[in-house]
Structure formats: structure tokens, C-alpha cells
Amino acid sequence: MILPEKPLIEVTTKDCVLVWKNCLRLIRASVGEQSFKTWFEPIRPMKLHNSILTIQVPSQFFYEWLEEHYVNVLKKAIYGELGAEGKLEYSIIIDKGNEQHQPYTINISNPKNAKPVDHSPLPPQKQFFSPFDMRTAPPHQAHSNLSSQYSFDNFIEGECNRLAYSACFSVAQNPGSNAFNPLVIHGGVGLGKTHLLHALGREVKALFPEKFVLYVPSDLFITQFVDALKNQSVQEFTNYYMQVDVLLVDDIQFLAGKEKTQENFFHIFNHLHQAGKQIVMTCDIAPKDLKGLHDRLLSRFKWGLVADVQVPDYKTRLSIVRAKMQTEGIAIPNEIVEYVAKNVDTNVRELQGVLISLVAKASLMRQEIDIDMTEKTLNQIIQRVKQIEVDLNIEIIQKAVAEHFNVSLNDLKSETRKKEIANARQIAMFICQNYTNMSLKTIGEYFGGRDHSTVSHASRTVTERLENDPLYKNIVDVVKMKLNLKG
């Protein structure tokens, strides 16, 4: 039902902006970058009143699409921010030619597509278990943090991931007592590592409900450990992890350089391994190339199996596109499916995002999908994907450099001329200039709006120092290695 917008009696703009910002953080982590940009960035928070958050969406179609595809994600985010009382209202912009846009609201407290709210956790930290869950729940009933969207059934196997897939599958049948303990899966972003970890965990839960399975991203593990240190509850924290039967640690590259956390993880690891419990980890680079990880921990990885996932080949990409179409219930002519699979060769996340954007565009234009229209649309989208990739690169570079030199991202972009910060900033600019195809001007914009000459100066300075100072070269090489950069 569409109702005219009521006059705004009590508007708390600041709160609504903040609440929506937090929601977005949760949503972003669960929908993937492309879908996030397509479906969530255009949304504007309007007001928050009596736990009802009103968001403005650009069209009726947009609203329907959100309701159809993201209602649970939205509900979970609202639930996480506003609790059980929280509700969402849409303010839909109806385009009436030259007339002013007239906002309407639709109350979705009883939306047509609403499925029961699934309180299984989202990846972000807010809804993850607390180590002290166990005061109230026996371990096997404690929260596993597993997401129902990932399973072995909806994972497409190909040359690129066969070993990793088979190892995960085999571990799930027989956790703990197998030759793959620990199992480490490594590979680039968007290639299915997290998917496999969840699939493994869910399969174990299905086969052995009494087992305590726990998924934890390593940055969360770090946060929890630091909190435990602060609260003098390290013992409790450690004991909790030592009760796990299948421990799934995602993105262990974040443990690099975190001495104390690693030490604690090492103890937990040894305890679990000796007790015949299963440990599975993922990492964005091969563990042996991961600097800042203790040898004693690294040497443990050799006890089990290290398997990689790679960018899928054309045939696998085709299967992934077809599978995705089937689960989303969308039909696209074969030529177009092939076109997408051929042209989007970065990673699976992008592949899925492109498909969704394509369907959305076609629906928005309300046109039959013919080849001409699709190729044109796809061209634009593929270019956009490449653009996003590049944008992402600068941000990834900034993040990696900031982390490596232990400075904040804000510092990196700030005016500060403090030596360590200026040094880190120069290296970051140098890497951006040499390893992305962004212009000096654009790079400057990413660094707090500096102009192109600052970037080229920084880059030159680094180049010179690299030639004359082997120690400095060593430092830059380590940063480059963290970013998987060669040459």
C-alpha cells in the first residue's frame, strides 16, 4: 500500500544517519561490493522515529528488488541496530516527468515477501558470539557463526579450486582424524575461501550435530583477544576456544605482526591439534610468503595440507553464472551468459555482481534483453567493474601500507609531515603510481586531495632511495609482497 508521506513531526536526522551507516557496515559485509554499490549506495536515510527507520529509494522497482532479494539482510541489519522493535519504512521516489519528485512511504512492517527473520549471524562483528556465551550454552549449542548462504551444494567445483574443495569436503566427513589437519586454503579475494569454510562448518554440523564448530574471522579473534587482555579474562577466552571441535579461522593474514595474539593462538592450536580437533584456516597469500607470522606457527601448517584456490577458468565461470541464474531465478539468453563469463575474469564475486547489475538494468529499462542492448549494458558494467577494481587497489594499498607501518589511514591521508607517516605515505603513493593505472591526479585525490606533483615527487624520492638503500628496499619489498606485487 502506498501512503502519502506524513509531515515530519519529529526528525532525528543525526541518529538516522548514524544508524543507517552502521546498518550499511553490516550489509556491506554480507552482500558483496558490486551489489552493495548497485543497491545500497543509492539509498538515503531520511528519519528515525519510534525505532522506525525511513530510507529513501530511487524507484518502485528498486524497492521491489530490495524486498525480493535483500529483505533478510536488511532485517538483520535493522535488528542489529535497533533491536526487536526496529522497523524499516521505504520512501519511494515516484518519477512523474517534469513534476517534482514526490516521496511516498510504504510501511514494510508486514512486507509481502518477508520470510521469518533469520537471526543467524552476519559476518560483521556485532552479531558474532561473545567468548562468554558458554556461561549460558553448552559448547555444541553455542553459536557457530556459520552463514546459511554458503554450502557445498552451491559451490561450483573446477580445476581452479578442486584440491581445496575436495580437502574441505573430506575434512567435513571426518573432522580431526584425517591427514589434512590443519588445512590451510589460500588465494586471492573473491575466490571462494570464506564460502568453503562455511560450507565445511555447516556440513560438519549436519553430520555431527554434537560437535562444537566455530567460525571466526581472524580480525575478530584479535579484537576478542585484546578485549580479554584488557578485562583480564585471557584464561576464559583461551578455555573457550580450547573446547572447539572444529575451528575455522578466516583470513589469518591479519595475524601477521600481532605477536601476543599469535602466541595465544599457538597455544590454542597446539591444544586442539593434540586433542585430535580440526583446524581449518584461510589466508590471502601462501602462508610461506606471509611475513610476520612466527616460524613455529608456520611449521605447524606443514603437518597438514596447504591448498590454493585460483581464478576460475572460462568453463568454471560459465557454470558459476548458470548456477547463480538458477538460484536467483533469472533467465538470460545463452549468448549473454557466455559473454559475461568470457569478459568478467577477475573473480567470482565480480561475476555475480555483474549478473545482478545486468538483470537490474534490463528491468529498469523495461526492455526485452536482446544482444545489442545487453552488450552495450555489459560493456558499461564491465568497465565499471574494472574501475572498481582499480579503486579498490588504491584502498587496498593504503590499508596494507598503513597496517605495515602501524599508522592510521587518516594519518596517511593527512597533512602530517611526521617522519614515519610521511615515509609510509610516500611508499603508498609510489606503489599506487607503479601498480595501478590511475593517474597521478587521481592518486593525489585519494591521499587527502594532494596535487599530481606531490605524488610524482613522492614516487621519485622512493625510486631514488630504493636504488641506494638496500635496507629501505627490503622494507618496500615486504610491503609489496603483502600486496602480492611482483617486480
Interface positions with Mg ion (CB under 5 A): 193-194
Site map (CB under 6 A) of ligand ADP, residues 277-316, x = contact? ----------------------------------------
Which lies closer to ligand ADP via its Cβ, residue 352 or residue 423? 352
- The closest of 258, 192, 190, 185 to 221, measured between CA atoms, is 258
At closest approach, how far in Å is the CB of 420 from ligand ADP?
A: 31
Does residue 202 interact with ligand ADP by CB under 6 A? no
Nearer to ligand ADP, 105 or 282 (CB): 282
Smallest distance from ligand ADP to CB 319, Å? 8
128 binds, among Mg ion, ligand ADP, none (CB under 5 to 8 A by kind): none
| Residues 1, 110 contacting (CB under 8 angstroms) | no
The answer to whether 413 contacts ligand ADP (rule: CB under 6 A) is no
Instruction: By CB under 6 A, name the one of 161, 181, 262, 426 that touches ligand ADP.
Output: 161
Does residue 190 touch ligand ADP according to CB under 6 A?
A: yes
**Between 56 and 194, whose beta carbon lies closer to Mg ion?**
194
The residue (of 195 and 300) whose beta carbon lies closer to ligand ADP is 195
CB atoms inside a 10 Å sphere around CB 8: 11
Please, what is the minimum distance in Å from the beta carbon of residue 323 to ligand ADP? 6
Residue 192 or residue 201: which is nearer to ligand ADP going by CB? 192
> Which of ligand ADP, Mg ion, none has residue 195 at its interface (CB below 5 to 8 Å by kind)?
ligand ADP
Can residue 322 be called a binding residue for ligand ADP (CB under 6 A)? no
The contact pattern for ligand ADP, residues 14-53, with x = CB under 6 A and - = no contact, is ------------------x---------------------
Nearer Cβ to Mg ion (364/392): 392
Residue 131 in contact with ligand ADP, rule: CB under 6 A: no
d(CA 330, CA 268): 46
Please count the residues of the chain.
487
186 contacts ligand ADP (rule: CB under 6 A): no
Cβ 431 to ligand ADP, closest distance in Å? 21
Smallest separation, CB 194 to Mg ion (Å): 3
* 385 touches ligand ADP (CB under 6 A): no
- Member of 55, 156, 247, 252 binding ligand ADP (CB under 6 A): 156
Closer CB to ligand ADP, residue 189 or residue 475? 189
Told to check if 201 binds ligand ADP by CB under 6 A, we report no
In angstroms, give the least distance from the CB of 260 to ligand ADP: 26
> 285 or 479: whose CB is closer to ligand ADP?
285
- Binding positions for ligand ADP, rule: CB under 6 A: 32, 150, 154-156, 161, 189-195, 320, 348-349, 352
